């Protein structure tokens, strides 16, 4: 089993698409301490009170206005119904993970709103309609316990695979509980391992031991709100008596410990995440001592069987050899820990490509390389002389986005592979390295793609950088500047936006005559670490210049015009949208700003905000606030400027990006009589929705708003 101990793992957990009451109270107290006089300088500071009665009354009043405006649209109900049918469709692919002899899946549909955790055999899975064995019915559990449970995942204990650690959150928050579950009896284990509600996690070592990182009480969480302490917890022991294996600093992002259960290579690790892409990894020895894996903190680190892999995010000189940023290196793990520094370069980037992923099967390493945002898959095989051979993966598609993952990296060279693009529904294959893969399942066409086509273009940014973007449009489209166009982006945390089948976008936008554009701006990972690092901190404006360049290119090519150009983004993408609105108000007609960061003066004092200072900077330092202020929408919006119409959406239960960002920005613009709408989902977490029904509703609102703003009146 591949043990991923890279900083990217934390990125997935903490940021790409709300705490319990006790955490909310702590967050409010923290905010109060952070700026005791802020109410004098920020008249909307009161909107940071997440679940205050006055605040929620304000939210409900704005929600009512937005619903009245959008739900009255003649097409709203039909679109919402169609989107829900897509999300609930039993024709979707039920992706699985192998655990022992069974293949597990979590599934939501019309009959299972909250979802079911279920399993089947491989023979059954290959059938068009497999027979599933339900392990946990989350709707029944939520009803029995009177909780609005949302599935957060499960870890099954090997080698018997009869116990699981099941994680559940209230309303989709990052904060969750973890409870021990007996798969054979279908019951939670009485007096079993039980992690109370908090941000953190718990993972198996063996039947009587787990690693746990959580809120252990005052002083046990970091300034970012994540665990500062990792413990080894023995069955029957009180949680407060669990053995501490590592304590981090308050300024760290998070601390965790994990067990690699690969037969013959069992190891324990401790991970200290200092910031995004800044971590220290330690081998936890049997005597409790720690041995650091002495590599650059910025490197992504992985351990599989006898191998150590490093994904470099900065140049690294070892002896007389300097390895390039973006390279993938491999070494023998035990030799490395003994002091040897013998590396083999498995991948080195060019100006056009980057490493998208590396996954081990039993005897091979599968490389996924992005070349101008298109996937290419290769097989790396170790040779007797210590070198590695490289060959294309047999049967891998050569177009679109392709991903590959091992079925069971400890036992076989089998893999799952998916292939997709903007017009091609996702197809799932199963294969064995060296043989032609077998198509297992394919998603149906959820929208009529007849007449639609996709093209990749490159815009020239302010500093001369070529920025790629994809455009989905009708072949017969007239280049007359009148086409309603939606431009989407993210541009942060080294996250790549790759082509994929977006059924809801197809149904709600493309088939209605809208042009859909995805911009691969700097800050993302489309060209590896260099693309990400080019837009960090004081260089953040480059991401927005890239996005503006794409918008200008669309207008110059007469795809659209300002009157028909809208933008959309969420989270860090919401910050992108906020900046495009405030810095480039003349480029756009409408904007959808979802679960956004907007107040960059206070972001590091709100919920998980402190964990992102490596990306944006520390606004508490005057020299850094000087450049952060240039991309703080809340501080750059002005009363005497005409802005695009903006639809702000967020979630009360988002305990990652504080809903106060969207609330305050909307309130300021509303106070100046700007054309703005607001909707806040009471559930949903950072994803904005806790179930398919909520997802369909929120998506329908966004696209209805965009249609009303961007479509010529005779096309509505």
Contact 528, 472 (CB under 8 A): no
Q: State yes or no: cis peptide before 259, omega within 30 of 0.
A: no
Residue 614 has phi, psi (to 5 degrees) of -65, -25
Contact 75, 704 (CB under 8 A): yes
Catalytic (active site) residue 661? no
C-alpha 135/C-alpha 138 separation (Å) is 10
Contact 283, 267 (CB under 8 A): yes
Q: Which ranges of 584-691 would DSSP assign to H, the alpha helix?
A: 613-616, 622-628, 633-636, 660-671
How many CB atoms within 10 Å of residue 620?
15
The candidate with the shortest Cα–Cα distance to 257, out of 217, 294, 228, 300, is: 228
Catalytic (active site) residue 686? yes
Catalytic residue, candidates 167, 461, 571, 632:
571
The candidate with the shortest Cα–Cα distance to 28, out of 605, 691, 678, 417, is: 605
577 three-state secondary structure: helix
Structure tokens at 665: 């920005």
Catalytic residue, candidates 220, 375, 686, 695:
686
Structure tokens at 225: 């709100």
Contact 318, 331 (CB under 8 A): no
Residue 686 has phi, psi (to 5 degrees) of -70, -20
State the DSSP code for 171.
T
C-alpha 428/C-alpha 422 separation (Å) is 16
How many CB atoms within 10 Å of residue 596?
27
Long-range CB contacts for residues 671-675, cutoff 8 Å, separation at least 24? 672/639, 674/643, 674/646, 675/643, 675/645, 675/646
Active-site residues: which are they?
A: 571, 686
């Amino acid at each position: 089993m591949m043990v991923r101990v890279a900083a990217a793992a934390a990125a997935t957990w903490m940021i790409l698409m709300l705490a319990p009451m006790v955490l909310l109270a702590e967050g409010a107290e923290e905010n109060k301490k952070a700026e005791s006089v802020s109410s004098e300088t920020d008249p909307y500071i009161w909107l940071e009170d997440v679940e205050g009665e006055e605040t929620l009354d304000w939210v409900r009043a704005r929600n009512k206005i937005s619903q009245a405006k959008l739900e009255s649209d003649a097409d709203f109900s039909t679109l919402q119904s169609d989107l829900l049918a897509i999300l609930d469709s039993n024709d979707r692919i039920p992706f699985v993970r192998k655990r022992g002899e069974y293949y597990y899946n979590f599934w939501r549909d019309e009959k299972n709103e909250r979802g079911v955790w279920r399993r089947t055999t491989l023979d059954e899975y290959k059938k068009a309609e497999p027979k599933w064995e339900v392990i946990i019915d989350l709707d029944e559990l939520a009803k029995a316990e009177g909780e609005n449970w949302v599935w957060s995942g499960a870890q099954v204990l090997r080698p018997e695979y009869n116990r699981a650690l099941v994680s559940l959150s209230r309303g989709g928050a990052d904060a969750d509980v973890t409870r021990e579950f007996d798969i054979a009896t279908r019951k939670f284990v009485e007096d079993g391992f039980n992690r109370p509600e908090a941000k953190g996690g718990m993972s198996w070592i063996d039947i009587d031991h787990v690693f746990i990182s959580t809120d252990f009480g005052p002083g046990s969480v970091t300034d970012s709100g994540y665990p500062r302490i990792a413990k080894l917890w023995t069955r029957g022991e009180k949680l407060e008596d669990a053995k501490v294996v590592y304590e981090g600093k308050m300024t760290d992002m998070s601390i965790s410990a994990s067990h690699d259960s690969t037969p013959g290579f069992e190891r324990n690790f401790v991970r200290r995440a200092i910031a995004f892409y800044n971590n220290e990894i330690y081998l936890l020895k049997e005597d409790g001592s720690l041995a650091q894996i002495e590599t650059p903190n910025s490197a992504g680190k992985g351990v599989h069987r006898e191998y150590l892999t490093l994904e470099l995010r900065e140049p690294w000189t070892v002896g007389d050899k300097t390895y390039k940023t973006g390279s993938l290196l491999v070494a023998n793990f035990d030799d490395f820990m003994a002091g040897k520094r013998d590396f083999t370069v498995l991948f080195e980037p060019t100006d056009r490509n980057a490493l998208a992923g590396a996954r081990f099967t039993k005897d091979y390493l599968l490389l996924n390389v992005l070349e101008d945002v298109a996937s290419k898959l290769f097989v790396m095989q170790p040779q007797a002389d210590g070198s590695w051979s490289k060959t294309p993966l047999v049967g891998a598609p050569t177009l679109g986005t392709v991903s590959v993952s091992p079925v069971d990296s400890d036992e076989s060279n089998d893999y799952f592979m998916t292939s997709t693009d903007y017009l091609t529904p996702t197809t799932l294959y199963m294969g064995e390295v060296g043989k032609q893969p077998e198509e297992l399942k394919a998603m149906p066409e959820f929208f009529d793609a007849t007449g639609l086509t996709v093209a990749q273009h490159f815009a020239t940014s302010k500093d001369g950088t070529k920025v790629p973007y994809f455009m989905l449009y009708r072949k017969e489209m007239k280049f007359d500047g009148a086409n309603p166009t939606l431009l989407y982006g993210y541009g942060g945390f080294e996250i790549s936006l790759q082509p994929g089948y977006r059924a809801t976008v197809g149904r709600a936008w493309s088939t209605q005559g809208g042009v859909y554009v995805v911009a691969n701006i700097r800050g993302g990972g489309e060209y590896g670490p260099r693309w990400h690092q080019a837009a960090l901190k004081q260089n953040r404006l480059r991401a927005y210049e890239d996005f503006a360049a794409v918008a200008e290119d669309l207008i110059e090519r007469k795809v659209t015009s300002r009157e028909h150009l809208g933008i959309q983004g969420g989270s860090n993408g919401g910050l992108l949208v906020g900046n495009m609105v405030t810095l480039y108000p003349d480029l756009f007609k409408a904007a959808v700003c979802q679960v956004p960061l907007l107040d960059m003066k206070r972001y590091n004092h709100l919920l998980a905000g402190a964990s992102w200072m490596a990306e944006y900077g520390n606004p508490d330092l005057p020299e850094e606030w000087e450049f952060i202020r240039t991309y703080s929408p809340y501080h750059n919006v002005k009363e005497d400027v005409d802005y695009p119409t903006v639809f702000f959406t967020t979630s009360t239960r988002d305990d990652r990006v504080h809903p106060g960002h969207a609330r305050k920005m909307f309130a300021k613009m509303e106070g100046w009589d700007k054309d703005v709408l607001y909707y806040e989902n009471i559930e949903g977490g950072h994803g904005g929705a806790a179930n398919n029904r909520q997802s369909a509703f929120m998506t329908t609102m966004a696209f209805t708003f965009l249609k009303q703003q961007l479509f010529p009146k005779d096309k509505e």
